[in-house]
Amino acid sequence: MGKVTGLGGVFFKCADPERMYAWYETHLGMKRDGGEFHFQWVDKDTGAAGTTVWALFKRDTNYFAPSDAPFMLNYRVDDLDGLLERLRAEGVSVDDRREEVPIPLFTGRGHLHPHLDSDAGHARRPPDLLGAHHGAS
């Protein structure tokens, strides 16, 4: 009936994505493939190749809307329609917009995961999202 099987993407807002990408490449060895970084991995059960995207957006992006959260997580799911049906039945507000990608993703845009906008979530966010990460914002 649909469950999360892993992370499909991690997306952050920051003041200067190019400068932040350069910092991560220089200090952590994360080289971009196209516009973002891709973690490559192999599914432990099926042996199929997979990818988790890690990307930065300008702080004023509308891509995360209607959420104003400073980050967004995309989840891989085994049955997106089943999971969304169950969430709706449980009274969860679901954003019906979809992006078709080669792997099934469940996009948490704030209203699917209200805790992403909570004060506790903001308190735990890394300092680079506030423009104070090692002086590279």
* pTM for this entry: 0.67
Whether the per-residue pLDDT at 108 is higher than 70: the answer is no
Whether the per-residue pLDDT at 133 is higher than 80: the answer is no
Identify which of 1, 12, 4 has the alpha carbon closest to the alpha carbon of residue 75: 4
Q: Which amino acid is at 123?
A: A
CA dihedral 16, 18, 19, 24 (to 10 degrees): 120
Give the domains, in start order, of the chain with CATH numbers.
4-130 (3.10.180)
Q: What is the pLDDT of residues 21-66, one digit of tens each?
A: 999 999 999 999 888 999 999 988 888 888 999 999 999 999 888 8
8 neighbors 76 (Cβ within 8 angstroms)? yes
123 neighbors 12 (Cβ within 8 angstroms)? no
